[in-house]
Amino acid sequence: MSRALYSLLFSLLLPAVLLRMAWRSRRIPAYRRHWCERLGKVASAMPRQAVIVHGCSVGETQAASVLINWLTEQHPEVPVILTHTTPTGRARGEALLPDVARCYLPFDLPWLVSAWLDQLQPRALVLMETELWPNLIAACQRRNVPVSLANARLSERSFRGYQKVRRLMTPVWQALHWVGCQYRADADRLLQLGTPASRTEVVGNLKLAMPVAEAIKLKAAELRQQWCEGRSCWIAGSTHPGEEEQVLDLHIKLLQRQPSLLLLLAPRHPERAREIIELCQQRQLQVVRRSLGEQPGQSTQVVLIDTLGELMLFYGVADVAFVGGSLVAHGGHNPFEPLQMGRVALVGPHMFNFQSLLEELQPTGRVRQVADVQALEEAVSQALLEPVQDGLEGAGVMAAPGHWIAAILAQT
């Protein structure tokens, strides 16, 4: 009954969802592409009886890329499909796994996911982190398609949210064939919600094993030489409304100490570029836009990174990295990208979405949390004096690739 009500509400809201996508496509044209995939249509070239791995957006797609690389190395005979929810996730998937079949996951309505599964007849479904869809999982269960939750994480806030919809979600948790958790705290919360104890394990964070493509390192070094010759540079990545204002005001203060300092500002949603340009102009900051191909000169003070799929690259260009979503009560973003590019990640006080990860990495010194924007000013100033480039070595322990793949394929 709870799932029927969920489906009814989703059906009633679907026109609004489609209208919102159409509206967003005015700024991000990628939103108007591949609509038929979101409505369950499968291209004839899409492989059948594949392992479907769902990477919702950028972070999940990066973790999925590690898993898919392991799977194709150990079982090259098994076809793989990578699915997404957002255009940013799809763009990242194309960059990381250009040879892997991909499509958007259909909306979670019974008739859409059922038709989609009937066409693809998948061997297994792997969902990344906490990307759970009740109708999709129920449809897989009816078809004896095993569903795994890989790189699973669950913040305290999300845990409380799931407790409010127990009647809808309990069958979902119980239907999972294997749950590979990042940390012990994640596993404890998931077990309380109802994941099977015999199938829930702590296996580490896939992003610890994600290699950085040599081409990205070379491009970062090239841009660093072009843009930052004789000057320091810092980046604020994945920022949100209310955060850019704080970052720009902080940058003005830092310019008083280092007049040639360059800021790379990468909003979480690039379609907000015009709004952020206005914030820069209000502060009389000289700004150029990456999406227009504009190159920073010596008088440029801010480069707006309003493109998709390039954030890791620009973490490698900067000397110091701040990860956004953490100065405002959004809950933070995953700090692994700057760490992978050899930078210490500075984060604000609001990191409740990644509390377990923060507790794991803070003692290593690779992630540093500040209490507010004033403390961030001091942390950036200090880090610019002694930039650190030491990668992810020693940042954590995780299960061997074979264990992940065996657990996912065991039920197929």
**Measured CA distances, 264 to 261, 317, 356 (Å):** 10, 9, 28
d(CA 373, CA 343): 20
d(CA 338, CA 331): 18
DSSP H/E element including 84: strand 80-84
d(CA 193, CA 191): 5
Q: Is the dihedral of CA 185, 56, 347, 241 positive or negative?
A: negative
383-391: long-range contacts, CB 8 A cutoff, minimum separation 24 = 383/234, 383/319, 383/320, 383/344, 383/346, 384/232, 384/234, 384/258, 384/261, 384/319, 384/320, 387/319, 387/320, 387/343, 388/342, 388/343, 388/344, 389/342, 389/343, 390/342, 390/366, 391/339, 391/340, 391/342
DSSP H/E element including 95: helix 87-96
Return the structure tokens found at 375.
Answer: 């403390």
Tally of CB atoms within 10 A around 226 = 11
Q: What angle do CA 164, 170, 173 make, to 5 degrees?
A: 120
Q: Residue 289: beta bridge partners?
A: 304
Determine which one of 37, 60, 243, 337 is catalytic: 60
- Is residue 138 within 8 Å of residue 173, measured between CB atoms? no
Q: Residue 202: beta bridge partners?
A: 181
Beta strands in 130-274 (DSSP E): 147-152, 178-181, 200-202, 233-239, 262-267
The phi-psi region of residue 183 (left if phi > 0; otherwise alpha if psi is between -120 and 50; otherwise beta) is beta
Q: How far is CA 172 from the centre of its chain?
A: 23
**Is 60 among the catalytic positions?**
yes
Residues forming the active site: 60
